[in-house]
């Protein structure tokens, strides 16, 4: 019945703020966890990468006179805080989860071991990846692309505030139109922003399709896994 058996969902840290200026919004946690539960109940295997932009980004470190690498590690720790919040929200509504961290912190997360993660997914547990890929100079988009390929996900889902990829930024240009589908090469040639290049080319080289969609619409995740046309498909 479902079109995609195993998916990786990338959520930005910034989106966790909801209407707030910073931090983690309880409404957003509920919103995400309810959507995830719906597709888990349909039998989809779900892995999640969540960013840390609502708490700290490596690029902000310069202004604080903090070394870039140190700042990137701070950003990675920020993603673990978000991952823990999301884990709690999911477990509260009865979804079994595991938090898998690229940086060892055994008291709160298991260390990332690919085979173990795949086993969790097969057993219907939602796996949340914390600490990105564990290396500075990367983003959580790269972590999403890397882990999605490693675990053999059928699809990478990038949740955003807009409902797909547009010819221009739809929040700035009212004439911008949306692509239903677009090829990897066209995204690069047209200079459209989907993810950072490292993440994007990793998906391209491994033929991993990406759907960019509006994560604020609570029907979308379910509609996508059922095969409905939502957002923009990059393939």
User: Does residue 35 contact residue 223 with C-beta atoms inside 8 Å?
Assistant: no
Among positions 4-43, residues that touch ligand UDP (CB under 6 A) are 12-14
Q: Which of 4, 40, 52, 224 binds ligand UDP (CB under 6 A)?
A: 52
Q: Which residues pair with 166 in a beta bridge?
A: 178
Give the residue at shortest CB distance from ligand UDP.
51
* 112 is an interface residue for ligand UDP by CB under 6 A: no
* 138 is an interface residue for ligand UDP by CB under 6 A: yes
Rounded to whole angstroms, how far apart are CA atoms 151 and 123? 14
* 132 is an interface residue for ligand UDP by CB under 6 A: yes
Q: At a CB cut-off of 8 Å and minimum separation 6, what does 12 contact? A: 50, 51, 53, 140, 159, 160
The 56-95 contact track toward ligand UDP, x by CB under 6 A, reads -xxx------------x--xx-xx----------------
Residue whose CB is less far from ligand UDP, 95 or 195: 195
- Own/partner contacts of 117-124, CB < 8 Å, gap of 24 or more, are 117/47, 117/151, 118/151, 118/152, 121/6, 121/45, 121/46, 121/47, 121/151, 122/45, 123/96, 124/40, 124/43, 124/45, 124/96
* 136 is an interface residue for ligand UDP by CB under 6 A: yes
Q: Which stretch binds ligand UDP (CB under 6 A): 93-101, 129-137, 165-173, 180-188?
A: 129-137
Chain residues in the site for ligand UDP (CB under 6 A): 12-14, 51-53, 57-59, 72, 75-76, 78-79, 132-133, 135-136, 138-140, 142-143
């Amino acid at each position: 019945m479902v079109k995609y058996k195993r998916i990786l969902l990338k959520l930005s840290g910034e989106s966790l703020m909801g209407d707030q200026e910073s931090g983690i919004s309880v409404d957003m946690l509920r919103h995400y966890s309810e959507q995830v539960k719906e597709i888990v109940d349909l039998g989809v295997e779900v892995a999640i990468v969540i960013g840390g932009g609502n708490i700290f980004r490596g690029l902000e470190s310069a202004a604080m006179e903090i070394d870039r690498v140190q700042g990137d590690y701070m950003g990675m720790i920020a993603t673990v805080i978000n991952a823990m919040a999301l884990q709690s929200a999911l477990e509260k509504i009865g979804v079994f989860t595991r938090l898998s961290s690229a940086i060892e912190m055994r008291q709160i997360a298991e260390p990332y071991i690919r085979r173990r993660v795949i086993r969790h997914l097969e057993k219907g547990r939602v796996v949340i990846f914390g600490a990105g890929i564990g290396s500075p100079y990367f983003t959580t988009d790269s972590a999403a692309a890397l882990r999605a390929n490693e675990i053999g996900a059928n699809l990478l889902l990038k949740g955003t505030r807009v409902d797909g990829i547009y010819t221009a930024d739809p929040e700035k240009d009212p004439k911008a139109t949306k692509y239903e589908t677009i090829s990897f090469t066209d995204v690069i040639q047209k200079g459209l922003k989907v993810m950072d290049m490292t993440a994007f080319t990793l998906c391209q080289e491994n033929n991993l399709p990406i759907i960019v969609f509006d994560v604020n619409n609570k029907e979308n995740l379910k509609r996508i896994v059922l095969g409905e046309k939502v957002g923009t498909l990059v393939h």
